[in-house]
Amino acid sequence: MSRRVGLWLLALLLTLGSAVFQRLTGPTQPVRGRVTLGGAEIRLRLLRSHGGDGDQPVVVKVADPAVTGTVAWRRYPTNDPYASLPMIRDGEALKAALPHQPPAGKLEYQVQLARGGEKALFPERPAITRFKGAVSAAILAPHISAMFTGMLVANAAGLLALRGERRLFRISLVVIALLSIGGLFLGPLVQKAAFGAYWTGWPFGSDLTDNKTAVAVLAWVVAAFRARGGRDARIAVVVAAVVTLAVFMVPHSAWGSQVDWSKLPPPK
């Protein structure tokens, strides 16, 4: 019993580790950094994702009233000229707002701070942010739960196979069910709410979030087929577990949905 508990704890650590890695390396993580003006250090945190209605806030905390700021932005990817937004002081912060875009619309932007004749630009390469529609918690919560649990069971199945377990058909079916519910059923509902399309992976697009889910489910279908009738399928299950761990470490939203600006009217 203690060995089995230890195995599930290790599976949980693998799952949490991959989730944290994916979260920290994804393209929607805020850009963080610092600049120096007047001998004082200013920390910045620029958002790279905005959901729901309304404009995307750009906020820089800087108590020095002598510091002013502007935000340069344009649609991404385009050769549009940059537009400039003045940042308005609100107490100890400078604030502006990037104009709302359609779902999957992207903007690139930079913040320029100034104090007297001294200026600082951040980030060196413009940050890219993507707009999305609001996703109901009634869809999002079970989607995340099913995917997380599916990843946990997949890791446990792989460890069981490495330990010599031969009866792996049922646990393979559990993984298929969880990943299918979370990724192939609820996933498209989340995608539709956020970006206006149910599926943007192969063969309709290159969205890695969709494609990697399909690859993981396919790997487990092969493993379950090999394990049917109690057959020894340890190698297939280990391979499926490794494939699942690898694809879920791909940053979420990489190569994600993106508006084709050539099909939309130019901004006013």
pLDDT digits (tens, 9 = 90+) for 122-180: 999 999 999 998 889 999 999 999 999 999 999 999 999 999 888 899 999 999 999 99
pTM for the full model? 0.82
Q: pLDDT for 110-127, tens place per residue? A: 999 999 889 999 999 999
- What is the Cα 196 distance to its own chain's centre? 17
Asked, as a colleague might, if the bond just before 86 is cis with ω within 30 of 0, I would say no
Q: Which CATH architecture has domain 38-132?
A: Sandwich (2.60)
Report the interhelical angle of 234-248 vs 2-25 (nearest 10°): 30
The pLDDT score that the predictor gives to residue 164 is 86
Tokens of 46: 């620029």
The answer to whether the beta carbons of residues 46 and 30 sit under 8 Å apart is: yes
| Identity of the amino acid at 120 | A
pLDDT beyond 80 at 250: no
Q: Which residue ranges make up each domain of the chain?
A: 2-26+136-248, 38-132
- Rounded Cα distance between 208 and 22, Å, is 13
Distances (CA, A) of 146 to 56, 153, 178, 186, 232: 30, 10, 5, 9, 27
Contacts of 128 (CB under 8 A, 6+ apart): 27, 48, 76, 106, 107, 108
- Cα–Cα distance for residue pair 69/88, rounded to 1 Å: 8
Give strand ranges (E) for 147-221. none
